[in-house]
Amino acid sequence: MLRLRANAVAKFKSHIAGGELRATITAATSARKYSTESPLPESADVVIIGGGSAGCNTLYQLAKRGVRAVLLEKSKLTAGTTWHTAGLVWRLRPNDVEIRLLAATRDLLMSLEEETGHNSGWINNGGLFISHSPERLDEYSRLATLGKCFGIESHIVGPEQAQKLFPPLDPTSFTGALYSPGDGVVDPAMMCTALTKGATANGGLVVEDCTVSQIITGENLLGMKDVRGVLTNKGTIRTNTVVNATGVWGRDLIEPLGVFLPLIPMKHAYVVSETMDTIHQMLPNVRDHDFSLYFRIQGKSICMGGYENNPIMLNRVPGDFHFGLYDLDYSVFDTHIQGAVKLCPAFGSAGIKSTICGPESFTPDHKPLMGPDPTVSGLFHSVGYNSAGMMLGGGCAEQLAQWIIHDRPDRHMFAYDVRRFTPKQKKALNWATERSHEAYTKNYSIVFPHDEPLAGRNFTVDPFHKQMIQYGAVMEERHGWERPGYFLPDETVVVQPYDWYGYYDHPKNANTHYEEALKGDYTFGFSEHHDLIGEEALTCRHDAALFNLSYFCKLFLTGSQAKEAAEWIFTANLDKPINKTIYTCALNKRGGVEGDVTVSIVESGLGGLHDPIFKGRGYYIVAGGASAYHTKCHILAAIQEKAFRAVVSDHTEELGVLSLQGPKSREILQKITDFDLSNEKLLPMNSTAILTIKINPHYSCHVRVLRVSFVGELGYELHIPEESCNDVYNALMKAGYKESLRNAGYRALYSLSSEKGYHLWGSDLRSDDTPIEANLGFVCRKEGEYQGKEIVDRQRENGVSRRLAFFTLREQVPIWGLEAVYRDGEIVGHLRRGEYGYTLQKPIGQAYVQRADSSPITNQFLQSGHYQIEVMGKLYDADCHLRSPFDPKGERMLGIYK
C-alpha cells in the first residue's frame, strides 16, 4: 500500500533549508562564478535575457561562433523552471527534425566535460517506453524504424525482458516496451555551469542579479520597430539583437512592445520516492505513455511525474518566483500515483520523501516558440519548451545561433518557428489556453497519422463553412482555420465547443459525433474512411470534384519596385505577359525552399478584392494555407532587407477559393459563365482571368479564375469576394449535379497531389531542401539574381548527394511517412510523405535518397538497386520512380483524356 507522508511538502522545504536538497540549490547557483560583478558592457552583438537552459545554451553556441554575447539573469542561473526540471533526455520522437535536435543536445552533453573540464551532469542510463496496447507497440515500431535512419539503437522487448532491464516493474501490467540504451538524464545545474564556463572561455559574458526593465526599440526607414538596446537595473546595453529566453515570463517583457506569444504557465510536478533497494542510478528511465507518467532514476530513488487531464493553469508567475515551489495538489497528481503503483508495486510501498511542483510554460501545440519575431526586427524568442528544455535545449540553441548569424537555421524549424502562429492566434489568450491545455493532456497520447484537436476550434472559418457542414464535412484544423478533411454522406458532423475533458466544472459534450468520426483514424492501418476518401479522389479523376481552398494564403505584391522585389524573392522567370500564372519557389540564403507558390502577373483592375487598383505591374501570390503567415513573413522580410518600395496586401480572409477539378470541370464551369473556356488562347493552362459568373438570370458577380491544378487534372480555381462566395458555390453545385460533381476534402486532395508527384511544403519540400534536391531545378531561372541562387547554381553544376524520389509498394500496406527506405539492404533515407494512390491502386511515398559516400546522385543510381520500405519492422519490396508514374506527360491538365 502506498505510504503518502502528510508532511511531504514541509519535509521537502526543510530539505531545501538545511537538508538533502541544499546541494541542488547550491549547484544551481554555483555557475555564478562565471558571472561578472563589473559594470555592464556598453554594447554587445547579442543580449540574451534569461539564465535557464535556453539562455545558457544560446550563450554557449553564440560565443563558440565568435559572437559578442551577454546573458542577463535577474536572479541566479537556472532560476525559474530549469533548476527543478526532471532532466530527462530521450532520443526518439516521431519527427526526423526533432530526432536531430535531441541528438545535438546529447552530443553536446557528452562532449562538454572534455571541452570545459566541468562535468555536464549527463548520465547515460538508457530509456524504456512501456506499452499497454497493440497500437502503442505499433507506434514504438515506427519510432524504432525511424531511429535506424539516424543510427539510434532501440529494441522492441516483451514484458519479461523489460523487467530484466528494470526489475521493479510488474510484467503482468503491460504488454511490451521499447528499449533505447542511448537515452539518459542530465543535472540542470551542472549542465548550465559547464555551458557558461565554455561560453566565458570564448568571450561570452554572464551577468546575474540584472533585471531587464525594457527592450529599447526604434523605427527603421520602412517604419518597422527594431531593437536598439536593453535597459537594466545596472545600466543600458546597446545592441541590435535580443533573445527572449525568459521561460514562464516569456510574455511579460515583450507585451509593452505590442508583441504577444501563445504561452501558458501551468503547475507541473513530480515526487521523489524514499530510497529503494532495487533501484540504482544505471537503471533506465521509464516512460509509460498509456499511464501518462515517467520514472527518472535519481540515485536509489525514483522521481515520478506525468501529464494529467486537469493541470493547474496560471495567469502569470510572479517576477520574483526565482527558486519557488508550490504545494503539491494530490487531488490532481493522484492519477499518476495510481498508475505508478500498478506499473511498479515497489514504488507504492516505498513512500514519498519530497515533492517538486513548479511553474512550466506550455504552448498550443506542445512545441517551443523560437526564431525572429515578425513585428520587431532584432527580437528573437526561445521560450515555451513544455518541460522539455533539457533535452531540446542544446539542439535548439545551435539552430537559434545559426538563425541569428546566418538569417536561417540549418534544420527545418517550422514546427518551432513562432511564425507558425498568426497574429490573431498569438493575441487570443482564451484560444491559447484551451489549446495548451489539450496539448498538455495529450502529450503522451499516440501520435496517429490523422488526428485533430478538440480545443480552440472554429477560431477562423471561411465563407463556405456552413455549406461544408451541411454537406457532411468532417473538419480539420490548420493554422487556426477550419477546412474539410472528407465528407460523410447523409450526415452532419459539428465540432462542439471545447469541454475541457469534463474538468474544471465543465460538463462533457453530449454530442460526440465528431469525436467518433476521428476515432476512425486512430490506427496505423487503413483508416475506416479509406474507401470514402477514395471515392472522392476517383470522382475527381473520372468526373469532377470541388475543393474548398479558402484558407490558402492570398497576397497582392504591388508598388514602384514590385518587379524588383518579385524577381529577388522568387526563383522562376517572372518576365511573362499579363495574366500568366507561374509556379515558383522562394528560397532562403542557404538555398532552402521557404515556400512554393503560384505567382500571377496582373494589371490594375476595377477595384474589387480579387481585382484591386494599383499602379504598374502587380503580382498575385497564392500559397498553401498551413504555412500562410510564414510565407507572408518571408516575403516581407526580404522586402525589408532590400528596402524595396513595394507593398504586400493580404486578402486571405477576404477571398474564398473553390477549386473545380476533373475531366468535366470545364463543362460545369461553362454553364455559369459566358467566357469561352474552350478557347485555349483566352485561358490557357497556367493563366488567370476575371470571369463573370451568372448566379441567376438577374444577378451575376465577378471572380478571378486561375487555370491551375494541384491534383493533375483539367481544373480551375475560383477566387471569390466574400460576399459572393455562397452564391457561386451554390451555382457550381447546381451546374455540376448531372455531371456527378461532389465535394472533396484535403485527404483526397493530398492523395491526388502525391499521386501526381506534386510537392507539399512542410513534408517532402522544406526549408532544408534545395530545388535541385527536390527536382525543381526547372523553376529556377539561370539569368538574373534571386535569393539563394548561388547555392542553386553550384548544385546544378556539381550535383547533389541526395535527391527526391517516388516509391510505390507492391503490397497493400498503408504508409504514412517516417518509414525507412533501403537500397540493396542499406538505409538510404526515410519517407517524408506517405499516401495511398487510388488511381494507381498502390501506396505511394516520397523520400530523399542519400548516397553514403556523398558523391553526386544520378538517375542511374536511383533507378538501379533493389528497394524496400520498412513498415512496422517488416520490409516490403518497392519500386523507385524518378517522377510519379501517374500521367507523366501531363496531358490531363491540358484536357487531353484518352
pLDDT 10s digits, 886-896: 999 999 999 99
Between CA 708 and CA 226 the distance in angstroms is: 40
Burial 129-160 (b: 16+ CB within 10 A, else e): bbbbeebbbbbbbbbbbbbbbeebebebbebe
Q: Looking at residues 672-700, what average pLDDT do you find? A: 96
Q: What is the pLDDT of residue 5?
A: 33
Residues 6+ apart with CB under 8 A from 60: 195, 196, 198, 199, 204, 397
Q: How far is CA 530 from CA 29, 136, 748, 838, in A?
A: 57, 21, 10, 10
Place of cell 520587431: 376
What are 121-172's pLDDT values in tens digits?
999 999 999 999 999 999 999 999 999 999 999 999 999 999 999 999 999 9
Phi, psi torsion values for 736, nearest 5 degrees: -95, 5
Number of Cβ within a 10 Å radius of residue 826: 9
Q: What is the pLDDT of residue 688?
A: 98
Between CA 206 and CA 59 the distance in angstroms is: 9
Under the banding of pLDDT at 50, 70 and 90, the label for residue 39 is: confident
Between CA 113 and CA 327 the distance in angstroms is: 36
Residue 666 C-alpha from the chain's centroid: 38
Check if the beta carbon of residue 623 is closer than 8 Å to that of residue 552.
yes
Kindly state the DSSP code that residue 364 receives in the 8-state scheme. T
Residue 460 has pLDDT above 70, yes or no: yes
In order, the DSSP letters of 91-132 are ---SSHHHHHHHHHHHHHHHHHHHHHSS---EE---EEEEES
- Give the range among 32-36, 546-550, 644-648, 794-798 with minimum mean pLDDT: 32-36
Check if the beta carbon of residue 585 is closer than 8 Å to that of residue 593.
yes
Q: What is the pLDDT of residue 16?
A: 33
Check if the beta carbon of residue 659 is closer than 8 Å to that of residue 547.
yes
In order, the DSSP letters of 495-509 are PPPP-GGG-TTPPPP
Between CA 631 and CA 762 the distance in angstroms is: 12
Strand partners, 837: 842
Q: Looking at residues 90-105, what average pLDDT do you find? A: 97
Check if the beta carbon of residue 81 is closer than 8 Å to that of residue 61.
no
Q: Looking at residues 542-548, what average pLDDT do you find? A: 98
- Report residue 322 as a C-alpha cell: 526565482
Strand partners, 376: 225
Residue 6 has pLDDT above 80, yes or no: no
From the CA atom positions of the chain, what is the Rg in Å? 28
Residues 6+ apart with CB under 8 A from 701: 692, 693, 695, 720, 721, 724, 727, 728
Q: How far is CA 702 from CA 80, 610, 691, in A?
A: 57, 9, 6
Residue spans of beta strands (DSSP E) within 514-579: 545-548, 553-558
Under the banding of pLDDT at 50, 70 and 90, the label for residue 222 is: confident
Under the banding of pLDDT at 50, 70 and 90, the label for residue 35 is: low
- Report residue 494 as a C-alpha cell: 459539428
Place of cell 516521431: 94
Tell me the HSE value of 819 on the side-chain side, using a 13 A CA sphere.
32
Between CA 665 and CA 893 the distance in angstroms is: 11
What are the structural domains, with CATH classification, of the chain? 125-179+265-359 (3.30.9.10), 553-651+775-788 (3.30.70.1400)
Q: Looking at residues 617-646, what average pLDDT do you find? A: 96
- Report residue 97 as a C-alpha cell: 527534425
Q: What is the pLDDT of residue 33?
A: 55
Check if the beta carbon of residue 530 is closer than 8 Å to that of residue 838.
no
What are 8-31's pLDDT values in tens digits?
333 333 333 333 443 343 444 444
CA distance from start to end of the chain: 75
What are 749-780's pLDDT values in tens digits?
999 999 999 999 999 999 999 999 999 999 99
Check if the beta carbon of residue 788 is closer than 8 Å to that of residue 588.
yes
Q: Looking at residues 27-47, what average pLDDT do you find? A: 71
Handedness of CA 359, 361, 367, 370 (dihedral sign): negative
Q: What is the pLDDT of residue 13?
A: 35
Percent of the chain with pLDDT over 70: 96
Check if the beta carbon of residue 351 is closer than 8 Å to that of residue 3.
yes
Q: What is the pLDDT of residue 889?
A: 93
Under the banding of pLDDT at 50, 70 and 90, the label for residue 36 is: low
Higher pLDDT, 64 or 38: 64
Tell me the HSE value of 357 on the side-chain side, using a 13 A CA sphere.
18
Between CA 245 and CA 89 the distance in angstroms is: 20
Q: What is the pLDDT of residue 898?
A: 82
Torsion on CA atoms 675, 680, 686, 689, rounded to nearest 10: -20
Q: What is the pLDDT of residue 4?
A: 33
Average pLDDT, the chain: 94
Q: What is the pLDDT of residue 17?
A: 35
Check if the beta carbon of residue 421 is closer than 8 Å to that of residue 477.
no
SS3 annotation, 657-698: EEEEECCCHHHHHHCCCCCCCCCCCCCCCCEEEEEEEEEECC
Residues 6+ apart with CB under 8 A from 148: 820, 827, 870
Residue 593 has pLDDT above 80, yes or no: yes
Q: What is the pLDDT of residue 678?
A: 94
